[in-house]
C-alpha cells in the first residue's frame, strides 16, 4: 500500500463533503439525491482502501513507516503531518468506513424527502473524513484537530433538526461537555511539548506518536510525567466516550437523526475515546496508576449506565445507555489487560499491543451489533412515528426483518455463544477475573443487566399487541402514515449485512488470529477454539447470567407473569433514581448554570463590571467634571486672588525643593 | 530610490478621504466608488508586499521596504516607515478590513460624504501606526485615529452613541497622555526618536531621566487601554456595541491590535529586562482578562455586546502570548491578533447583517433564523467556530501556538499554572459561542422574521472572502507564521533565560 492510497482514505470523503457543500447544495439542490450517491461512492472507496490497509498491515512487523510532511515550524515547535499505519489504525479504518457505508445506504431511505438532505450527507461525509483522519494521524496535534472536528460534526448532526429546541440544546450540551474532557487532552499535549527539550537530544519530536512510544520505552520520561500525561489523555477519552462523570451528553444526543446515532454515537466517534487510550497505551502501561483509573472508571460506568438503561422508555435512550455501558466495558478491558501485563514485569511494545487487542476487539464487534441496534430502532421509529416503547408492541409480525436482525444484535450484545459479542466479552471477563475480582463482579453484573434491558426492548417493541404509535408526535423524525410497515429494502439490506457481521465478526479471534494481527499471541485451530471454549466454566457462568437476564425480561415484558408496574412500585426509590438518571443532569445544571457559575459567580462579575469597574471610570469622570465646575468658580478674574494662588504655589515649590533637593 | 510602497499604502486612503470631502457634487454611488478604489489599491499593494517579503533568516532583525526622510531635524525626528514580520501581517489585515469596510457600509445613506471620509482617514491612521519606525510619527498616527472614531460613533452609531464616543475619546486620551510622557522620557534619555536605533543600542548605556521601569509602564498604559486589558476595558463594550457595523469591524478587527503591536514593538523590544521582570504580573492580568472577560460574555443578552466582551477574553490570549516571552508564544500572539481581526471582524459584520435584516439584536427575542437566513447562518457559524478556536480555523492555530509557547516558557515563573487557567477560557468560549448560535439560529421558526432577507450578492462577496481567509490561515498557518517568526526571532535574542 502506498502512502498516497492511505491519504486517499481521508481525502475521498473530504472531497465528497466539499463537492456537496460547495457545488451540489448551492447550485444543484434540486438534484440533492446526488449528495447521497456521492457520499456512498466516496465512503465505498475509502472502505476498499481500508481493507487494503488491513491486508498490508497483516503480518507486518510494526507500523508501515512513511515520513511525515513538514507543516509549520516556529522555534522548537515543529509540526509534521503524517500517517501512522499499524494494525490498530487499519482495524479502526475498516470499522469506520464499513459502518459508515452501511449507515449511508440506510440513510437513503431514512432521510428521504427531508429538506436538509444534501446538508445531511455533507455533514456525514465530513464526519467520516474527520474520523478517518483521527485514526490515521501520526501526530498528536493532528489527532487533536480531527478529534475536535468529529466533535463539531457530532454537534451539527445532533442539532440537524435545528428548529427543535431539544435538538439545539442537546447539540450544545454534547459539545460543551466533551470539550470539558478535551481541556484535559489539550493540557496533555501542552505537557508533551513542555518535555520537548528532554527528548530533543535523541532526535525525537514530542508531538509525534512513534517518537512518544520511543521516548516512553527508553525511559526518557519519568513515571510522574507519564501519569499526568495519561490522566490528561484519559480526560479527553472520558468526554468523547461518555464515561462517568461526563456521560450526561450521550443520551440527549439521541435528538439527532437515528442513523447519526448509529454511526457517531454508537460505532465510531464515541469509540474514539477507547481508541485514544489504545493509541497511547504505552504511556498508560508505563504509569500503572492511570491504568487502574481506566479500569475503575470503565467498570463503574458499565454498571452505572446499565442501571439507567433498564428503566428508560425511549428505545433510543436504552440503546444509548447500552452504548455508554459497553464503552465502559472496553475501557475496563483495556485497563485490566494492561494491569495484567504490567504485573508481569517487563513491558514490551508487543505485550502492550496484545493488551490493546482485548479492548479493541470488543470495540470492533460492538461497532457492528450496536450500529445494527440503532438502525433497528430507526426502522421501528420510521414505522411507528415514535421512540416511546410504551406506544409500540407487536411489530414482530409487520416488521419481520427488523425483528430478526434486532434479536440477533441483542443476542450478540448479551454475549450468547457463538455470536460476536460473546467472544470479546468473554476475553474481558477472563482477564478481569484474573486481575481484580471486584471489577469482575461489576462486569458480571453488567452482563445480567445488559441481557435484561435489551430483551426488555425486544419484548416491549416486537411482542404483544401494537399499542398505536404516535402519529407526528415526534416532529420531523416521524414518518408515520397509518399502519406500521416494514422499512424499504434500502434500509433493510444494510441491517441484514450488519446482522451477519454481528454473528461472525467475533470468529476472527476464535483461533486467536485477531490478537496475532494486533501484535502478539499464537493461533490455534479454529474448531478447537470454537468449541473448546465451552470446556471452561467462565463462558457458562456468563451465559447463565445473561440467560437469567433474558428470562427476567421475558417474565416481566413477554409473558407478563411478573408485573413491571408492581416491580416499579416495590422498588420505587431505586426505580426513580435510575429513571431520573441519578439526578446528574439536575446536579450539573445547578452547579454550572443555575446557581454557582453562570447565574452566580458570572452574574456577580457582570454586576462588578458595570458597577465597580465601569462605575469607577464614570465616577472619576463625574469627579473631574465636578472639580472642573468647582475650579471654574475660582477663576473670578480678580488679579488679587490669582496672586494669592501664585504665592501659595511658589511657597510649595520652594518647600519641596528644600526638603527633596 | 525605489517606489515608496508603504507611503502609498498608508496615504492613499486619506487622499481618497480628501477627494470625497472636498470635491463638490459627488453622489452617493460616486463616493462609494472612490472609497473602493482608494482602499482596494492599498490592499493590492499590501498583498504584493506580503508576497515580496524576504522570508529568509538573513532578513531577521531588519525592516523591509524602508523609507527614511529627515522630518524635523531639530529634534532628530524622521519620517521613517518600514515593516518586519510582526507589522506586515497587521498591515495586510488593516488593508483587508479597510477595504471590506466599504462594502460593509454600502447601505449607509446618511451623510455618506462625511462617513466615508472619516472611515478612510481611520484606515490611514491605523496603517500609519503599524508602519511607523519613528516614535513621534507613531504617536501622531496613534492620536489621529481618535478623531474619525469619535465622529463615526457619535453620528452613525446606535444606542447611547454620544456617551460611548466620548467615553472612547477620554479613555484613549488618558492612555495616550501617559504614552506621550513615556515617549518623551525615552527621547530625553536617548536623544533619539528612532525605534530601530533605540532597539539596536538598548537602554543600558543611557542614564534614564526617570526609572526605566516607569517609562515601560507609561508606554504600557496607552497600549493596555487599547488592547484592552482588565481593568481598563470598559470603553470597549460600549464603543463596539454602539458603533455602526463597519466601524465595529475596524475597531475590533484592527484598531485594538495597535495595543498588542505597541507592546511587542516598544515594551518588549526596547525593555526586554523590564518586560521579563514584570511579566508575571502582566500574565496574571492576561489570565484575568481571559476568564473574567469570558465569564461576563456569558451574561450578555445583546448580540453585539456579547461579541464585544468576547474580544476582551480573546485579547487576553494576546497579552499572555506576548509576556510569556518565547518565540512561539510571541508568534502565537501576533497570529492571534490577525486571527481575531478576521474572525471578530466577520462576527461583527454578521451581527450587523442579522440586525439590519431582522431588525432585532436582543438575543432573547431572536431565534430560528437558520430557516430564513441560511447563508448568514452558515457564515455566522463559521466565524463563531473560529472564535471558539475550532481546528481548521485560524483561531485554533493562533490559540494553540499561544498555549504551547506559554506553557513551555522558562522565563516567567508560574506560567504553567497561568496557561492552564487561560486554557479554561476555551471551554467558556464554547459556552457563550454556542449559546449565541442557539439563540439566534436554532429553535422554532418565528413568524415575525418571515420575509427577512438573507445576504445579498455584495454581502456574500465580502463575507465569503473573510471565511476564505479564516480557513486558509487555519489550515495552513505557516503562510503567516513563516513571516511572523522572522519578526519575532530578534526579540527572542534579547531575552535571556535566568540562571
Residue A513 binned pLDDT confidence (cut-offs 50, 70, 90): confident
For residues A610-618, give the mean pLDDT.
80
- pLDDT attached to residue B204: 78
Tell me whether residues B442 and A617 touch, CB distance under 8 A. no
- Which has the closest alpha carbon to B116: B247, B243, B249, B6? B247
Residue A418 confidence (pLDDT) above 80: yes
Q: How large is the C-alpha radius of gyration of chain A?
A: 30
Q: How many helices (H) and strands (E) does chain B have?
A: 22, 2
| pLDDT over 80 (residue A624) | no
pLDDT digits (tens, 9 = 90+) for B92-137: 999 999 999 999 999 988 899 999 999 999 999 999 999 999 999 9
Q: Do A617 and B171 touch (CB under 8 A)?
A: yes
Best A74, A149, A155, A612 residue to mutate vs chain B (most B CBs within 10 Å): A74
The most confident of the ranges A194-203, A480-489, B389-398 is B389-398
Q: Quote the minimal CA–CA distance from A193 to chain B in Å.
A: 7
ipTM value: 0.93
pLDDT per residue as tens digits for the range A248-266: 999 999 999 999 999 999 9
Of A159, A176, A606, nearest to B431 by CB-CB distance is A176
Q: How far apart are the first and last CA of chain B?
A: 48
Angle at A387 (CA atoms; ends A384, A389), nearest 5 degrees:
90
Of A167, A190, A621, the CB nearest to B404: A190
Statement: residue B44 has pLDDT above 70: yes
What pLDDT is attached to residue A158?
94
What pLDDT digit, counting tens, does each position of A566-593 carry? Answer: 888 888 888 888 888 888 888 888 777 7
State the sign of the Cα–Cα–Cα–Cα dihedral A473, A474, A476, A477.
Answer: negative
pLDDT digits (tens, 9 = 90+) for B52-94: 999 988 888 889 999 999 998 888 899 999 999 999 999 999 9
**Nearest chain A Cα to B480, which residue?**
A72
Compare CB distances from A614 to B234, B392, B492 and report the shortest one's residue.
Answer: B234
The answer to whether position B337 is within a domain reads yes
> How far B354 CA lies from chain A's nearest CA (Å)?
18
In a domain, B33, yes or no: no
| B453 in a structural domain | yes
Nearest Cα of chain A lies from the Cα of B463 at a distance, in angstroms, of 15
B83 and B93 in contact (C-beta within 8 Å)? no
DSSP state at residue B264: I
| pTM (2 d.p.) | 0.92
Q: β-pairing, A69-74 with B64-72? A: unpaired
Band (pLDDT 50/70/90 cuts) for residue B499 is very low
Cα of A306 to nearest chain B Cα, Å? 29
Cell of A519: 501484535
- What's the rounded Cα separation, in Å, for the pair B415 and B305? 31
| Percent of chain B predicted with pLDDT > 70 | 99
What distance in Å separates the CA atoms of residue B242 and residue B427, rounded to the nearest whole number? 28
Q: Please, which pLDDT band fits residue A658 given cuts at 50, 70 and 90? A: low
**Number of compact structural domains in chain B:** 1
Closest CA to A374 of A302, A454, A448: A454
Mean pLDDT of A39-52: 95
CB A210 within 8 A of CB A63: yes
* Helix orientation angle between A140-158 and A272-279, rounded to the nearest 10 degrees: 170
Q: State whether residue B434 sits within 8 Å of chain A by CB.
A: yes
Residues 229-268 of B with CB under 8 A from A: 230-231, 233-235
- Asked if the Cβ–Cβ distance from A74 to B485 is below 8 Å, we say yes
Residues of chain A with C-beta less than 8 angstroms from the C-beta of B170:
621
B283 located within any domain = yes
Query: Within a domain: residue B69?
Result: no
Q: Is the dihedral of CA A156, A161, A164, A166 positive or negative?
A: negative
Mean pLDDT score of chain B: 92
- Burial annotation A59-71 (CB, 10 A radius, 16+ → b, else e): eeeebbebebeeb
- Whether B387 is in a domain gets the answer yes
Q: What is the pLDDT of residues A140-162, one digit of tens each?
A: 999 999 999 999 999 999 999 99
**Three-class DSSP category at B408:** coil
Residue B63 lies in a domain: no
Whether A525 has a pLDDT exceeding 90, the answer reads no
Q: Report the gap between the CA of A121 and the closest CA in chain B (Å).
A: 16
- Determine how many CB atoms are found less than 10 A away from the CB of residue A185: 26
Q: Which residues of A touch B160 (CB under 8 A)?
A: none
Range of the domain at B305: 271-492
Torsion of CA A611, A614, A617, A622, to 10 degrees: -50
Residue B356 lies in a domain: yes
Instruction: Give me the residues of B, 53-82, that contact A with CB < 8 A.
Output: none
Amino acid at each position: 500500500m502506498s502512502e498516497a492510497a492511505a491519504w486517499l482514505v481521508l481525502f475521498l470523503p473530504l472531497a465528497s463533503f466539499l463537492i456537496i457543500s460547495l457545488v451540489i447544495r448551492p447550485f444543484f439542490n434540486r438534484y440533492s439525491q446526488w449528495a447521497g450517491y456521492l457520499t456512498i461512492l466516496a465512503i465505498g472507496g475509502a472502505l476498499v482502501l481500508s481493507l487494503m490497509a488491513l491486508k498490508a498491515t497483516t503480518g507486518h512487523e510494526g507500523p508501515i513507516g512513511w515520513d511525515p510532511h513538514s507543516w509549520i515550524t516556529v522555534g522548537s515547535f515543529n509540526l509534521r503531518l503524517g500517517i501512522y499505519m499499524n494494525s490498530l489504525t487499519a482495524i479502526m479504518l475498516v470499522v469506520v468506513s464499513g459502518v459508515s457505508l452501511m449507515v449511508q445506504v440506510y440513510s437513503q431511505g431514512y432521510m428521504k424527502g427531508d429538506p436538509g438532505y444534501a446538508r445531511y450527507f455533507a455533514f456525514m461525509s465530513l464526519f467520516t473524513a474527520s474520523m478517518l483522519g483521527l485514526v490515521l494521524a501520526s501526530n498528536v496535534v493532528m489527532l487533536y484537530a480531527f478529534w475536535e472536528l468529529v466533535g463539531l460534526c457530532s454537534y451539527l448532526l445532533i442539532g440537524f433538526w435545528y428548529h427543535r429546541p431539544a435538538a439545539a440544546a442537546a447539540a450544545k450540551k454534547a459539545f460543551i461537555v466533551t470539550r470539558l474532557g478535551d481541556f484535559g487532552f489539550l493540557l496533555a499535549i501542552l505537557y508533551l511539548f513542555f518535555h520537548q527539550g528532554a527528548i530533543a537530544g535523541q532526535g525525537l519530536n514530542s508531538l509525534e506518536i512513534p517518537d512518544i512510544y520511543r521516548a516512553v520505552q527508553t525511559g526518557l520520561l519519568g513515571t510522574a510525567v507519564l501519569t499526568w500525561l495519561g490522566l490528561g489523555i484519559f480526560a479527553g477519552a472520558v468526554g468523547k466516550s461518555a464515561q462517568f462523570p461526563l456521560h450526561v451528553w450521550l443520551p440527549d444526543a439521541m435528538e439527532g437523526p437515528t442513523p447519526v446515532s448509529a454511526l457517531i454515537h454508537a460505532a465510531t466517534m464515541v469509540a474514539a475515546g477507547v481508541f485514544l487510550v489504545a493509541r497511547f497505551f504505552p504511556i498508560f502501561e508505563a504509569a500503572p496508576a492511570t491504568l487502574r483509573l481506566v479500569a475503575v472508571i470503565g467498570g463503574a460506568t458499565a454498571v452505572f449506565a446499565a442501571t439507567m438503561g433498564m428503566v428508560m422508555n425511549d428505545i433510543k435512550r436504552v440503546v444509548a445507555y447500552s452504548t455508554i455501558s459497553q464503552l465502559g466495558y472496553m475501557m475496563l478491558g483495556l485497563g485490566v489487560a494492561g494491569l495484567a501485563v504490567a504485573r508481569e514485569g517487563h513491558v514490551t511494545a508487543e505485550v502492550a499491543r496484545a493488551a490493546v487487542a482485548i479492548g479493541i476487539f470488543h470495540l470492533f464487534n460492538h461497532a457492528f451489533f450496536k450500529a445494527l441496534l440503532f438502525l433497528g430502532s430507526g426502522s421501528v421509529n420510521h414505522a411507528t412515528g415514535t421512540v416511546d416503547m410504551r406506544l409500540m408492541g407487536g411489530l414482530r409480525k409487520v416488521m419481520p426483518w427488523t425483528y430478526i436482525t434486532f434479536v440477533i444484535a441483542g443476542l450478540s450484545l448479551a454475549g450468547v455463544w457463538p455470536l460476536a459479542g460473546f467472544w470479546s466479552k468473554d476475553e474481558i471477563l477472563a482477564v478481569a477475573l484474573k486481575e481484580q475480582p471486584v471489577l469482575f463482579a461489576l462486569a458480571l453484573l453488567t452482563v445480567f443487566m445488559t441481557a435484561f434491558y435489551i430483551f426488555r426492548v425486544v419484548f416491549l417493541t416486537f411482542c404483544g399487541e401494537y399499542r398505536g404509535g404516535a402519529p407526528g408526535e415526534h416532529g420531523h423524525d416521524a414518518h408515520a402514515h397509518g399502519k406500521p410497515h416494514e422499512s424499504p429494502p434500502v434500509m433493510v439490506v444494510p441491517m441484514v449485512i450488519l446482522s451477519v457481521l454481528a454473528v461472525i465478526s467475533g470468529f476472527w479471534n476464535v483461533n486467536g488470529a485477531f490478537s496475532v494481527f494486533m501484535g502478539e499471541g499464537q493461533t490455534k485451530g479454529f474448531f478447537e477454539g470454537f468449541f473448546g471454549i465451552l470446556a471452561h466454566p467462565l463462558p457458562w457462568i456468563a451465559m447463565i447470567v445473561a440467560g437469567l437476564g433474558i428470562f427476567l425480561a421475558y417474565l416481566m415484558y413477554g409473558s407478563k407473569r411478573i408485573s413491571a408496574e408492581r416491580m416499579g412500585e416495590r422498588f420505587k426509590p431505586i426505580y426513580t433514581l435510575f429513571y431520573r438518571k441519578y439526578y446528574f443532569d439536575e446536579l450539573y445544571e445547578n452547579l454550572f448554570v443555575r446557581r454557582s457559575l453562570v447565574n452566580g459567580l458570572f452574574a456577580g462579575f457582570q454586576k462588578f463590571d458595570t458597577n465597580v469597574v465601569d462605575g469607577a471610570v464614570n465616577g472619576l469622570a463625574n469627579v473631574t467634571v465636578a472639580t472642573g465646575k468647582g475650579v471654574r468658580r475660582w477663576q473670578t478674574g480678580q488679579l488679587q486672588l490669582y496672586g494669592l494662588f501664585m504665592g501659595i504655589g511658589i511657597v510649595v515649590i520652594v518647600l519641596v525643593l528644600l526638603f527633596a533637593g | 530610490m525605489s517606489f515608496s510602497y508603504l507611503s502609498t499604502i498608508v496615504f492613499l486612503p486619506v487622499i481618497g478621504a480628501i477627494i470625497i470631502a472636498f470635491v463638490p457634487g459627488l453622489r452617493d454611488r460616486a463616493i462609494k466608488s472612490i472609497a473602493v478604489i482608494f482602499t482596494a489599491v492599498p490592499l493590492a499593494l499590501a498583498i504584493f508586499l506580503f508576497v515580496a517579503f524576504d522570508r529568509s533568516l538573513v532578513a531577521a532583525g531588519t525592516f523591509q521596504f524602508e523609507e527614511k526622510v529627515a522630518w524635523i531635524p531639530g529634534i532628530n525626528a524622521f519620517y521613517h516607515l518600514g515593516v518586519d514580520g510582526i507589522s506586515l501581517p497587521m498591515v495586510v489585515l488593516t488593508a483587508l478590513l479597510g477595504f471590506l469596510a466599504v462594502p460593509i457600509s454600502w447601505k449607509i445613506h446618511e451623510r455618506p460624504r462625511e462617513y466615508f471620509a472619516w472611515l478612510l482617514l481611520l484606515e490611514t491612521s491605523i496603517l500609519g501606526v503599524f508602519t511607523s519606525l519613528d516614535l513621534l510619527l507613531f504617536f501622531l498616527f496613534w492620536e489621529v485615529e481618535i478623531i474619525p472614531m469619535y465622529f463615526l460613533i457619535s453620528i452613525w452609531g446606535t444606542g447611547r452613541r454620544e456617551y460611548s464616543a466620548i467615553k472612547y475619546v477620554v479613555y484613549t486620551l488618558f492612555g495616550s497622555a501617559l504614552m506621550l510622557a513615556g515617549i518623551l522620557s525615552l527621547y530625553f534619555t536617548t536623544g533619539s526618536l528612532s525605534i530601530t536605533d533605540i532597539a539596536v543600542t538598548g537602554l543600558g548605556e543611557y542614564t534614564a531621566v526617570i526609572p526605566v521601569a516607569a517609562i515601560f509602564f507609561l508606554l504600557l498604559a496607552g497600549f493596555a487601554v487599547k488592547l484592552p486589558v482588565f481593568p481598563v476595558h470598559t470603553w470597549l463594550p460600549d464603543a463596539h456595541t454602539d458603533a455602526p457595523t463597519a466601524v465595529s469591524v475596524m475597531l475590533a478587527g484592527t484598531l485594538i491590535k495597535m495595543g498588542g503591536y505597541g507592546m511587542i514593538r516598544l515594551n518588549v523590544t526596547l525593555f526586554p529586562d523590564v518586560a521579563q521582570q514584570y511579566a508575571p504580573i502582566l500574565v496574571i492580568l492576561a489570565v484575568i482578562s481571559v476568564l473574567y472577560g469570558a465569564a461576563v460574555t456569558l451574561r450578555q443578552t445583546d448580540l453585539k455586546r456579547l461579541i464585544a466582551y468576547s474580544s476582551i477574553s480573546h485579547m487576553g490570549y494576546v497579552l499572555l502570548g506576548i509576556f510569556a516571552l518565547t518565540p512561539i508564544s510571541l508568534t502565537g500572539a501576533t497570529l492571534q491578533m490577525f486571527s481575531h481581526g478576521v474572525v471578530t471582524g466577520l462576527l461583527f459584520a454578521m451581527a450587523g447583517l442579522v440586525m439590519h435584516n431582522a431588525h432585532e439584536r436582543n438575543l432573547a427575542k431572536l431565534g430560528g433564523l437558520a430557516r430564513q437566513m441560511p447563508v448568514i447562518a452558515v457564515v455566522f457559524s463559521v466565524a463563531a467556530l473560529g472564535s471558539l478556536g475550532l481546528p481548521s480555523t485560524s483561531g485554533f492555530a493562533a490559540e494553540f501556538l499561544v498555549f504551547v509557547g506559554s506553557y513551555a516558557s522558562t522565563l516567567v515563573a508560574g506560567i504553567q499554572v497561568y496557561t492552564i487557567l487561560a486554557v479554561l477560557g476555551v471551554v467558556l468560549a464554547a459556552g457563550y459561542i454556542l449559546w449565541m448560535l442557539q439563540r439566534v439560529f436554532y429553535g422554532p421558526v418565528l413568524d415575525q422574521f418571515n420575509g427577512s432577507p438573507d445576504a445579498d450578492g455584495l454581502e456574500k462577496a465580502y463575507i465569503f472572502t473573510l471565511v476564505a481567509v479564516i480557513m486558509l490561515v487555519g489550515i495552513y498557518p505557516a503562510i503567516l507564521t513563516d513571516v511572523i517568526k522572522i519578526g519575532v526571532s530578534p526579540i527572542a535574542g534579547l531575552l535571556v533565560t535566568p540562571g
